[in-house]
Amino acid sequence: MASFTLHGIPVSRGIAIGRAHKLAPAALDVKHYLVAEEHLEAEVLRLQQALAQVHKELQTLWNELPKDAPTELGAFIDVHALILSDPMISEAPLDIIRARHYNAEWALLTQIDELSAQFDEIEDPYLRERKADIQQVAERVLKVLMGTEQILPPPVKLGDDEFQPQMIIVAHDISPADMLQFRDRSFIGFVTDVGGQNSHTAIVARSLDIPAAVGMSGASTLIEQDDWLIIDGDAGVVIANPSVVVLEQYRDRQNAAIRARKKLGKLKKTPAITKDGTEITLLANIELPDDCPAAMEAGANGVGLFRSEFLFMGRKGKMPSEDEQFEQYKKAVVAMKGRPVTIRTLDIGADKPLDQAEHTALNPALGLRAIRYCLAEPQIFLIQLRAILRASAFGKVRILIPMLAHAFEIDQSLAMIAQAKAELREEHVKFDENVDVGAMIEIPAAALALPMFVKRMNFLSIGTNDLIQYTLAIDRVDYEVAHLYNPLHPAVLQLIAMTIAAGHKAGIDVAVCGEMAGDVKLTRLLLGLGLREFSMHPAQLLSVKQEILNSDLARIMPQTRKIMRSMEPGVIADAVEQLQLL
């Protein structure tokens, strides 16, 4: 068999070596036919029973979650259950059966295709990838309808009490719930045609610490059942049918990585201090309160980014109440046991699926989103601010405002916070009067107008993902321009350096909460630029800590100053690599 290499998106580090086990998507085998009038209600009942069975399966999975299962798994199963209950899945396909006489599978696929098209219009990459959750839920229902839900082979038994972990799942897509089944078998990695850094399957893979590569367009077609595979999770590369020499090289790398990971585990309680004695704050990015235990386990000093929009998603435009939000914020605050929790206010808007009817923006990324949306919908914003402030009575809370660009936006945001405080005071509701308020620096205009931010705000947080996209005017998930996404572009580095310097001069904290913070190849560069707060996915925290422990600022900073004097991307990239050798 010929060897070949596929390139995709790295989402979970490590190396996996095993044989391919392919999962065929049920949608490919769906039959399309029209149902006679007299049989329509029977077809409706068939779909309703399939929906009910999947509900039951998800509940069973949730009830049987292992004690050591990542918190993300339970949360994502909840999300899938919510999606299943949403009328867009539980009712709209039934209407299609009755109105168009489609069979149940065809009706469900039709509805999912329509929803997927709406999600494709979303500019925000994180929210756009939520389309995959809807498709994964539909896939489970289809498998029940078609009687193909048993998708995994039994474990490979080698001895009386030993199972060889050698199966690599190859699929068009994999749901977090399905990953639970894999976990109990000989499953060591997965490869998918679709997905991105922010997909739930990618997040679960990172939390399970399983090597994975997604966005491997065509992988499920090109790879054959039982092919030998190597997943290089660090590079996002899959090698099919490797030569003996290549196989041995990767086995050596795999063994070295295993030894390194064991060593990392010993750093959980070690303070993040550079060789020259500079203490660094390491924070966690979370999406749900249930992510907090993983952050604590990784030794995070707090939460640097709580993406509150997760509470608003999948509700078909219905906003969560103040009490509902308060309970979630409070849960996170209590779980972090006194460590600060930075809650980002609603980063959602015309490009987000709060209400499908509102998708009218010509260019959603530049339209009514984030703080612009909140200021245009003050009642929604005020409810969220009240809920966050109420949670501040139970521990240290910081409020982070996204996508600010104008002074009046800052002033109006602060005025809304003051109004929320005044209302709570009048109602004799407890909250932290001195809650810190910070700004996301994610638009070039904000980084170029920092004096108006540091004058008004208590802290800054650099959202490097959006900052890079807006600075370079590219969408990194658009495959036609994704190669232009470059964190080391001199313009990007200048904006980051300016923000850190302005914060230091004003005496306020500056953090980086984008992906650059969790990339160990960039840790020394950010340290050299003066960054002292990093916020990242909990799974990345120990690797970054190790890099910090091995860093000497006295040696890094002169080299960083040289990097900042260069405008040549190639020179910058080489110099950043040299930082790793200092």
Give one DSSP letter per residue of 414-438, joined into a string. HHHHHHHHHHHHHTT----TT-EEE
> Tokens for 187?
């499953």
Q: Say if residue 504 is exposed, middle or buried (CB neighbours under 10 Å; 0-12, 13-18, 19+).
A: middle
Q: Are 577 and 523 in contact (CB under 8 A)?
A: no
Strand blocks (E) in 354-416: 397-401
- Separation of alpha carbons 429 and 168, rounded Å: 53
Which of 568, 558, 57, 231 is CA-nearest to residue 578? Answer: 558
> Tokens for 519?
């990339």
Which of 235, 220, 243 is CA-nearest to residue 168? Answer: 220
DSSP 17: E
Residue 422 CA to its chain's centroid (Å): 35
For the chain, the residue count is 582
User: Catalytic residue among 21, 80, 172, 200, which?
Assistant: 200
Q: Are 167 and 187 in contact (CB under 8 A)?
A: yes
Contacts by 274-277, CB closer than 8 A, 24 or more apart: 274/527, 274/548, 274/549, 274/551, 274/552, 274/553, 275/549, 275/550, 275/551, 275/552, 275/553, 276/552, 276/553, 276/554
- Separation of alpha carbons 94 and 103, rounded Å: 10
Which of 291, 451, 473, 440 is CA-nearest to residue 369? Answer: 440
- Separation of alpha carbons 115 and 97, rounded Å: 17
Which of 240, 336, 261 is CA-nearest to residue 293? Answer: 336
The two most distant CA atoms of the chain are separated, in Å, by 81
Sheet architecture: strand order including 237-240: 4-7, 237-240, 228-232, 15-23, 167-171, 187-192, 212-214, 9-12
Which H or E element spans position 253? helix 244-264
Q: Is 200 a catalytic residue?
A: yes
DSSP 515: G
Q: Are 437 and 401 in contact (CB under 8 A)?
A: yes
- Separation of alpha carbons 82 and 89, rounded Å: 10
> Tokens for 11?
């989402």
User: Catalytic residue among 21, 374, 513, 537, which?
Assistant: 513
> Which residue shows structure tokens 């405008």?
567
Q: Is 513 a catalytic residue?
A: yes
Q: φ, ψ for residue 187 (rounded to 5)?
A: -110, 125
Q: Are 562 and 575 in contact (CB under 8 A)?
A: yes
Residue 36 CA to its chain's centroid (Å): 45
Using CA of residue 115, residue 116, residue 117, residue 122, what is the dihedral sign?
positive
Task: Name the residues annotated as catalytic.
Answer: 200, 513
